Amino acid sequence: MARLKVGDVFEVDTTSGKAYIQYVLHNEVIGDLVRVLSGVYDKRPENLIDIINVKEEYFVHFPVKAAKKRKIVELVSNFELPKGIEVPTKFRTEIMDKDGNLIGWHIVDYDTWQREKINELSEGQKMLSPWGTWNDSLLIERISQEWTLENWG
């Protein structure tokens, strides 16, 4: 199988239509980081560059190579990452109590993996992408449900 290249764009079939992700980088510990691109489409758009150049919905770690091998995603093309795109340096994850209730957040530094506990998110922190790795079922479910950073938590 061909090696993943930064900028590879993959099509993901969801219950709502076709969605697109773009491969950004591989982290040796947590895996592949992708941009989840905006929109869900009935058919593949003729000009994907218009989707690529729009700000992503969020970043998430997702095992692209395994998903491609299992034909869960299909490689469509390769586009340069948009100018000015920055790999996030901070992510967030929920802190739940034993009953599954949200009680706070951890802000995770991508470089050091240090966690900072936050009880309430600032407006800026609400725009942080999720920490952790999503499998194909979760990625497809979240895209189909129009999940966003703003409505998370």
Give the 3-state DSSP-derived string for the chain, with helices as H, strands as E and coil as C: CCCCCCCEEEEEEECCEEEEEEEEEEECCCEEEEEECCCCECCCCCCCHHHHCCCCCEEEECCHHHHHHCCCEEEEEECCCCCCCCCCCEEEEEEECCCCCEEEEEEEECCCCCEEEECCCCCCHHHCCECCECCHHHHHHHHHCCCCCCCCC
pLDDT in tens, 68-80: 999 999 999 999 9
Looking at residue 2, its pLDDT comes to: 72
Give the mean model confidence (pLDDT) for residues 142-146. 95
Give the mean model confidence (pLDDT) for residues 97-102. 94
Whether this model's pTM surpasses 0.75: yes
Mean pLDDT of the chain: 95
Looking at residue 153, its pLDDT comes to: 77
Give the mean model confidence (pLDDT) for residues 74-103. 94
Looking at residue 106, its pLDDT comes to: 97
pLDDT in tens, 20-65: 999 999 999 999 999 999 999 999 999 999 999 999 999 999 999 9
Looking at residue 1, its pLDDT comes to: 56
Lowest-pLDDT range of 2-6, 30-34, 39-43, 124-128: 2-6
Give the mean model confidence (pLDDT) for residues 89-106. 95
